[in-house]
């Protein structure tokens, strides 16, 4: 799908990490896209407006929130190192705008506080909670169990069950077995999670077989997306139906990630579509945002929505099988958004996997962390 040089220049900023859905919407949009992308700050007016809409923040509050979250992200690693074996997890507290680090030893609190974090003294270390979760991962989960994750704020493993099935014998038996392996708290959800692939609809980012999904992030040589969107070796078509590339690697269930290598004539840029809701966003890195941080998602069906990071390292129990090491968010999504981009500020976070609910009534969505995908396939994120 080679194009004249002048047209390649106009469209370069539109081969975005959520596909080319906007590239054929109008010629005028394509003509101004490069200048618009180049001028986009990390906290654009559109991004602040989306945070106002989805998080109930004023523009000033959203700007302050982004600054505080960036500072909290920088503190997490040295705080973990300072706490050592007493480290019991960390999160961002939106009420105070500060990072919180849980520790099991009071002697470590002062050193962690010196780094700029608040502390909480708890009973179970992060290592102990991870071991408890690993034991639960080895159990077979019934459909009435939505997933489980380590929650540092609760200092336990949270097992989430579908409300309508909480009293089913299989669900109760699973919870009992989980509790035998360590500290467990039970939570409820309205619906079971599902993946967000969809049947073919014209004018959307990419297709494989009769499935439509969304591009996640550009990497050098292609892009990353969700594994349930296609198997290794499957051909990928672009928004216009022309040959775009091939799945070079794919894993689902167990994981939910994939790498698509693109053909000559297609190219990558470090950009995520804002779909007119916000300016197209530049990607500058992949520093992992803490629990509690604000986060936004771009997808080919519901476009741009924001929310908060609710949990990390959650095992999600889809009907196709369990997927591990997922991040849970309060962002909504719908069919066709699978594989799309999760961002925190200008930092890539992960690719959309699945969830429950929709963008009319609300819901929750999980993503596969992008750094795990990059490490798995030896990829390099395309950054600005």
Give the span between the Cα atoms of 170 and 367, in whole angstroms.
27
Select which of 44, 156, 286, 338 is catalytic: 338
CA–CA separation, 152 and 162 (whole Å): 22
Q: Which of 228, 305, 324, 382 is catalytic?
A: 228
- Residues 256 and 215: their CA atoms lie apart, in Å, by 14
256 is catalytic: yes
Q: Which of the following is catalytic: 151, 256, 280, 346? A: 256
Please name the residues in contact with 365: beta carbons below 8 A apart, sequence gap of 6 or more: 196, 297, 307, 328, 329, 331, 332, 333, 337, 352, 353, 354, 355
Distance separating alpha carbons of residues 338 and 18, to the nearest angstrom: 10
Helices marked H in the chain — which ranges? 5-11, 27-38, 45-55, 59-83, 109-113, 126-137, 169-180, 370-377
From residue 335, how far is each of 16, 39, 244, 280 by CA, in Å?
19, 32, 22, 22
Q: Is 85 a catalytic residue?
A: no
- Is 330 marked active-site? no
**Sign for the pseudo-dihedral over CA of 147, 152, 157, 162:** negative
Lookup result for tokens 């109930």:
56
Q: Which two tokens stand for residue 67?
A: 């600054």
DSSP 8-state code for residue 141: P
According to DSSP, the β-strands at 156-162 and 321-329 are unpaired
Q: What is the largest CA-CA distance in the chain?
A: 65
The catalytic site residues sit at 228, 256, 338
């Amino acid at each position: 799908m080679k194009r004249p040089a002048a047209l390649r220049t106009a469209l370069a900023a539109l081969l975005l990490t959520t596909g080319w859905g906007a590239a054929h919407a109008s010629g005028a949009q394509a003509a101004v896209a490069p200048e618009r992308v180049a001028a986009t700050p990390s906290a654009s007016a559109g991004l602040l407006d989306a945070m106002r809409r989805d998080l109930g923040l004023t523009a000033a509050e959203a700007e302050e929130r982004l600054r505080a979250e960036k500072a909290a992200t920088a503190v997490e690693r040295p705080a973990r190192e300072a706490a050592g074996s007493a480290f019991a997890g960390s999160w961002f507290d939106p009420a105070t705008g500060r990072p919180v680090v849980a520790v099991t030893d009071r002697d470590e609190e002062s050193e962690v506080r010196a780094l700029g974090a608040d502390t909480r003294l708890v009973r179970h270390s992060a290592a102990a909670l991870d071991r408890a979760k690993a034991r639960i991962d080895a159990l077979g989960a019934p459909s009435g169990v939505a997933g489980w994750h380590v929650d540092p704020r609760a200092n336990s493993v949270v097992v989430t069950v579908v409300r309508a099935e909480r009293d089913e014998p299989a669900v109760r038996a699973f919870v009992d077995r989980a509790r035998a392996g360590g500290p467990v708290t039970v939570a409820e959800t309205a619906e079971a999670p599902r993946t967000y692939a969809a049947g073919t609809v014209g004018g959307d980012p990419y297709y494989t077989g009769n499935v439509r999904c969304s591009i996640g992030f550009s990497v050098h040589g292609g892009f990353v997306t969700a594994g349930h969107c296609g198997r290794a070796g499957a051909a990928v078509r672009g928004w216009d139906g022309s040959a775009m590339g091939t799945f070079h690697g794919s894993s689902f269930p167990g994981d939910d990630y994939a790498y698509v290598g693109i053909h000559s004539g297609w190219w990558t840029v470090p950009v995520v579509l804002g779909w007119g809701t916000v300016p197209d966003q530049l990607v500058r890195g992949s520093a992992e945002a803490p629990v509690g941080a604000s986060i936004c998602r771009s997808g080919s069906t519901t476009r741009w929505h924001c929310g908060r990071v609710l949990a990390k390292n959650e095992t999600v129990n889809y009907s196709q099988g369990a997927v591990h090491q997922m991040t849970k968010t309060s962002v909504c999504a719908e069919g066709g958004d699978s594989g799309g981009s999760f961002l925190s500020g200008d930092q890539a976070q992960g690719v959309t996997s699945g969830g429950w609910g929709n963008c009319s009534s609300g819901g929750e969505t999980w993503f596969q962390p992008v750094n795990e995908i990059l490490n798995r396939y030896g990829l390099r994120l395309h950054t600005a």
